[in-house]
DNA sequence: TTTTATTGTATCAATTTGATACAATAATGC
DNA sequence: GCATTATTGTATCAAATTGATACAATAAAA
């Protein structure tokens, strides 16, 4: 096949690590291919007529049902041994057809990694025609992932940890309004360590990126916490 | 041409931003193609039988004469409009041959950006067969670069600025032994701002990554500064 | 020996962070 | 009602870090 006859770019793909927060722990979306026992990150190929970033966004919007999504690129993986035609062959076989050995998807791929932090509850995980299921898995209890996808997850985790200090990444992990405790839990889940309650509160308030709203009465026998939302205008200016 | 007949991966390339330090300002290596007036970053393609990183290293070692090099990946550029067959055609024409319109190097490319900080004085800039010259240009006075290479430089600068806080990046910009003033000048050039002399010294010494050596007698009529080198063992452990 | 420019470090103030204390308060039980 | 309980919001003081300044040490020249 001539390159120009292919709708997609060859030798390049994208893979995404989509983080969600249950209130207690971080999870990521992992899909499982039919009849293969193979687990993988959501990913895909780039059409010749679209931007790399748009290709990745489109793919993730389809997998999650979200209408908008913010993706951050964190690393591109290009080791020689990361490509392996076996999984793709097994996936094709699992779907009931044989793939010719010179098919372009069996060639070597360099993949661009993106991460996103999204609202766990707004997502409708949607399998594609190749996959059996797509589900949330705790980052501390992932199934074995195919190829180098575990390395990709590891790099994504490192990236969100270092980015957390710079940008208020947590913006999309929580509902519109949230309590200070919930926000702290997000930070604790990402950094994987406890934070001092009072210091966290002082620090985050001094950043002046939160708007305080009404109190939240949960029925608990104690002082009700305020609800907050992110001041998106101020965050833009950072 | 069938993909497998091509020695190189298609649709993927790398480009590098190689920083050097003159003692006063940051420069980068820029090459100029013969008879075209086109200026570009050093870059290249990835052979099917080599790692992405190795391909980039090999390319830069050839352009600089260095035997070893450390590259940091900072971003991958995949916009649809970044690819443009005209420069490549002009480059081919400048060399005296016509390129067929369906040649793989005229196709769309997604390029992986790497930066490196190296010792200005140890480099022998070496043009390749396509380029007229390869030279150092001050980052404040670059020639107009082709395609999106100016955006690539901008991203590389952002990357070294944020990485400077995390890793002691300056390690390779200076000779083996250097004075505290020289080290501070490096930081000032990268961050593009003056740093407080005493605070810088206290902070960098407290990091415990420097080894103090003999004094440097320059003949100047004042107290001679100590020479320092990086303690590479301790830096590894960070 | 004095002078000059620069280096290395000490010192004290200002700011930020860590640790603790405590008042405010929303339900509950009596 | 009124004490009880758990949690929140903030104040307070100590500890650590950073900023600003001062000053002694010193290499060479006058």
pLDDT digits 0-9 by tens, B152-161? 999 999 999 9
Optimal mutation site among A5, A6, A11, A105, interface B, most CBs of chain B within 10 A: A11
Q: How far off is chain A from B15, nearest CA to CA, in Å? A: 13
Predicted confidence (pLDDT) per residue in B142-153, tens digit = 999 999 999 999
Average pLDDT over residues A218-228: 91
Band (pLDDT 50/70/90 cuts) for residue A57 is very high
Band (pLDDT 50/70/90 cuts) for residue B3 is low
Average pLDDT, chain A: 90
Phi, psi (rounded to 5 degrees) for B98: -90, 140
Query: In chain A, which residues have their Cβ closer than 8 Å to the Cβ of B73?
Result: 75-76
Radius of gyration of chain B (CA): 20
User: What's the CA B222/C1' C4 distance, rounded, in angstroms?
Assistant: 8
On whether the CB atoms of residues B139 and B195 are closer than 8 A, the answer is no
| ipTM of predicted complex | 0.91
Q: Which of B83, B121, B119 is nearest to B104 (CA)?
A: B83
Q: Which of A176, A171, A211, A209 is nearest to A187 (CA)?
A: A171
**Degrees to nearest 5, angle at CA B13 with B7 and B19:** 130
DSSP per-residue letters across B36-57: T--EE--EEEEETTS-HHHHHH
* Cross-strand pairs, B20: B27
Band (pLDDT 50/70/90 cuts) for residue A3 is low
On whether the CB atoms of residues B137 and B27 are closer than 8 A, the answer is yes
pLDDT surpasses 70 at A8: yes
- The pLDDT score that the predictor gives to residue A102 is 84
Average pLDDT over residues A138-158: 96
Average pLDDT, chain B: 90
| Proximity of residue B2 CB to strand C below 7 A | no
- The pLDDT score that the predictor gives to residue B88 is 82
What is the fold of A177-236? Arc Repressor Mutant, subunit A (1.10.10)
Predicted confidence (pLDDT) per residue in A166-220, tens digit = 777 888 899 999 999 999 999 999 999 999 999 999 999 999 999 999 998 988 8
Nucleotides of C strand lying within 7 Å of any protein CB atom: 3-11, 17-21, 24-28
Dist CA A73 CA A111 (whole Å): 11
pLDDT surpasses 60 at A1: no
pLDDT surpasses 60 at A2: no
Band (pLDDT 50/70/90 cuts) for residue A4 is low
Nucleotides of D strand lying within 7 Å of any protein CB atom: 4-12, 18-22, 25-29
Q: Give the Å distances, CA to CA, from B131 to A21, B67, B114, B126, B224.
A: 52, 21, 20, 9, 45
Radius of gyration of chain A (CA): 20
- The pLDDT score that the predictor gives to residue B203 is 94
Domain A3-169 in CATH 3.90.79.10 = yes
Band (pLDDT 50/70/90 cuts) for residue B10 is very high
- Per the model's pLDDT, the better-predicted residue between B130 and A209 turns out to be A209
A104 near B CB under 8 A: yes
Annotated domain spans of chain B:
3-169, 177-236
Predicted confidence (pLDDT) per residue in B52-111, tens digit = 999 999 999 999 999 999 999 999 999 999 988 888 888 888 777 788 888 888 899 999
**For A101, which residue in chain B has the nearest alpha carbon?**
B4
């Amino acid at each position: 096949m001539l390159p120009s006859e292919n709708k997609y770019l060859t030798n390049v793909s994208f893979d995404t690590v989509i983080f969600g927060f249950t209130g207690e722990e971080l999870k990521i979306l992992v899909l499982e291919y039919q009849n293969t026992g193979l687990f993988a990150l959501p990913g895909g190929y780039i059409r010749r007529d679209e931007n790399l970033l748009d290709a990745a966004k489109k793919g993730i919007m389809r997998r999650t049902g979200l209408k908008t999504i913010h993706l951050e690129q964190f690393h591109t993986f290009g080791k020689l041994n990361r490509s392996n035609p076996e999984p793709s062959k097994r996936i094709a076989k699992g779907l009931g057809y044989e793939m010719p050995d010179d098919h372009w998807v069996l060639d070597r791929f360099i993949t661009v990694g993106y991460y996103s932090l999204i609202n766990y509850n707004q997502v409708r995980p949607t399998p594609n025609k190749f996959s059996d299921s797509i589900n949330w898995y705790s980052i501390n209890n992932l199934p074995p992932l195919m190829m180098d996808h575990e390395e990709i997850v590891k790099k994504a985790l490192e990236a969100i940890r270092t980015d957390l200090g710079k940008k208020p990444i947590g913006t999309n992990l929580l509902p519109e309004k949230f309590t200070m405790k919930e926000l702290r839990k997000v930070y604790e889940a990402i950094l994987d360590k406890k934070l001092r309650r009072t210091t966290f509160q002082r620090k985050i308030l001094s950043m002046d990126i939160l708007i305080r709203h009404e109190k939240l009465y949960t029925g608990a026998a104690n002082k009700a916490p305020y609800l907050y939302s992110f001041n998106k205008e101020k965050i833009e200016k950072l």
